[in-house]
Structure 1
Amino acid sequence: MFDIAKSRLKKFKQWKTSNGQVKTLSDLPLIEGFTDKTAKKLCDSILNGPTEEVEQISNKIKGQILHPNLKESTIKDCKTVLTVYISVNSVCWTLINKNDYEVVEWQYYGIDYPEGKKIQITDIFDIAWRITQRLPVADIYVMKAEATTLRAAGSDPNNPKVLAVNLQKAQMVSMIVALINARGHRSDDDDGKLKQIVYFLRPTLPYRLHGTLVGNERVSTDQTVEMLLQESSGKSTGNKHVYVPEEGKNMFRTQNELQKDMLGHCLLLSLTFMDLCVYKNKERIAKLIKRTS
């Protein structure tokens, strides 16, 4: 699809009815809702040709895989993607260079909570602030889509302790997302609304794509990630697989089991986003469709 909103397309048609064909690019800003920026985006999408959108892939896989929707123009302009994986006690991130599918940063950060006192909302914000300051700057940020309920899974869904932990994590995630979106001070020129640069991927996709989900239970990512690292001996042509430098491999292999698992979840989340939403790897998409059908 070309990069034009339905409301602008309607205005475009109304203008044509009243004024005739658009003859030059200088006519576009005369149409209500069109600025120099939106006119340029439309022209760029026409010149580059329509491409398959994430929504079309989503239809193949059944259901929405990413929220909010990711524009093709955003993918085209993107140079780096940072995936952030948040658990109650740690945050991991993976920074990928889009041009050559290389992991340029892969980190584990343990969260230290204040001891000997009840955790207040200001304590959580302080932790979220410190985490955000450590995160590399990127063009696109990716997280797993979190549950919209605080209820715990299992036989005791109203367990107060689990509900409290889920609430604490939800607060942490919300604050980090807000800080990431705000620190760039990015806004749309047209309506002044905050431009979202954080995208949420359906959480089960990495597990199904990489085989770390057995039934409804997740298994450790350790062996799966180790196989990926062994295959990552060099940069691939056509971005068919990720390249992890030796420094990153050595870092992963020296972590304890819990840290490896968290780092693994983060890497698999990142690779799933890159393969499905950025590179649109046909083999990966076909593999996922087969496993989810």
Structure 2
Amino acid sequence: MNTMQNVLRSHQILHICKSCAQNVFYRKCIGQIRHFSGLYQPRYNNEEQNKILQVLNESSAEELSRFDIGKGRINSLQQFRRKRGQFCTLDAVLEVDGLGVKVLEKLCDSILNHIYGSEMEGSVDKSQVQKQLKSSKNQRSQMLTPTLQLNQKIVVQSAVGIHIGVTAVTWAHIDCSGKLLHWDLHSLELGPKKLHLTSLFDVVQNICERFPEGDLFIMEDNICSVQSHQKLPASLSINLQTSQLTAMFVALLNNSPLSLKESQSEYQHRVFFLRSRLPARLFGILVGAERVSAQTVVLDILSEAQKNSTTEPARRNLTTSRYSPINVNQDLIESYLKRTSVEKENLCWALLLTITFMDLIIHQNPRSLKTITGRK
């Protein structure tokens, strides 16, 4: 009897040991996934997780290269997505070869930084995160007037850059994917005689009717000192007229039908001013305090756009350019090339203005920001 009890007891002990071993093995194998779920579910709410998954599921290799992830891991992500389908949870991303917890953490933060324009560093304490967020917000507020609110930024699909020249008003309409949708001008046939404000208002109203429908309208904050033009009456007259045109554009565009659909308590600006000379600085056409012609730079942009239209996204070189490439319809390119030199120059500044806004404010392109801030 004692012998039988000992045998039964031995079997019980062996069964318990096997169960413990299996449990340890199970926890060891899925340790990363459990660690990720336990740490990140509270960190990323449902809305943020859905946005991250949408980016991972819908982005091309070119679009993923904007985030904090290497080319090899981008290829692994796309191969996994082709074989296994879309990612349903963040835990599923850990099944991709080469993507551990820390790599995925950096990638998720980079995606949210791209969407929200805020920096998230999981390895620093709360005070450091708040300091970085405040610094990032201050940097953007210095670039743009008024400040673009977060709830408005995340729904932006496209922006229209407006350049007010001496002889023409030009505009460029670009969406968040980098596609140039519209690029045109309206000649300012004002003549040598100064127009009355009512006549000038009619001109501005006609131009506004030609503008494409964008979520935001961007202008450059070219504030000129009156004292600097006291000895040049002609320049003073031009700048006064430009200021009048600008004020009328702000009034009309901020009170357009799209803005009026919002309730009075939720009114938001639609016209924003990019800091003076930022486009010229980003594209390297600022000599001292003076801008040089933008036509050479724009020809390079259009040439690159034509090249990218026939190149697979995965083979495009995005690491050397200080700005994000754009997609341009051949009709727009041909229309631009037929313009006079003065018209081309005005069109150039509208295009560069819009690209600068999308890169610095919407996309927060690290290469563009580094060019502007001079940080290494």
TM over 0.5: yes
Q: Check the 8 A contact 2:216/2:271 in 1, yes or no.
A: yes
1-structure distance, mates of 2:191, 2:139: 46
Q: Which runs of 5+ in 1 are unaligned?
A: 1-41
For 1:268, the aligned partner's letter is L
Give TM-score, length-normalised by structure 1.
0.73
Residue correspondence of structure 1 range 121-270 to structure 2 within 5 A: 121-147=197-223, 149-153=225-229, 157-184=230-257, 185-186=259-260, 189=263, 191=265, 194-233=267-306, 234=308, 240-270=324-354
Shift of 1:151: 4.1
Q: Check the 8 A contact 2:293/2:345 in 1, yes or no.
A: yes
2-structure distance, mates of 1:143, 1:134: 16
Give TM-score, length-normalised by structure 2.
0.58
Q: Which runs of 5+ in 2 are unaligned?
A: 1-44, 52-111, 119-132
2-structure distance, mates of 1:180, 1:216: 30
Q: Name the structure 2 match of 1:76.
A: 154
Specify the SS of the correspondent of 1:70.
coil
Equivalent pairs counted in the alignment come to 244
Cα distance change of structure 1 residues 66 and 111 upon mapping to structure 2, 3 Å threshold: same
1-structure distance, mates of 2:200, 2:326: 34
Q: Check the 8 A contact 2:117/2:362 in 1, yes or no.
A: no
For 2:161, the aligned partner's letter is T
Cα distance change of structure 1 residues 286 and 121 upon mapping to structure 2, 3 Å threshold: same
1-structure distance, mates of 2:264, 2:183: 36
Specify the SS of the correspondent of 1:232.
helix
Shift of 1:123: 1.1
2-structure distance, mates of 1:259, 1:80: 24
Cα distance change of structure 1 residues 90 and 246 upon mapping to structure 2, 3 Å threshold: same
1:111 to 188, 192, 206: 188
Percent same amino acid at aligned positions? 26
Higher helix share: 2
2-structure distance, mates of 1:286, 1:181: 32
RMSD, aligned α-carbons: 3.0
2-structure distance, mates of 1:190, 1:135: 24
Cα distance change of structure 1 residues 150 and 112 upon mapping to structure 2, 3 Å threshold: same
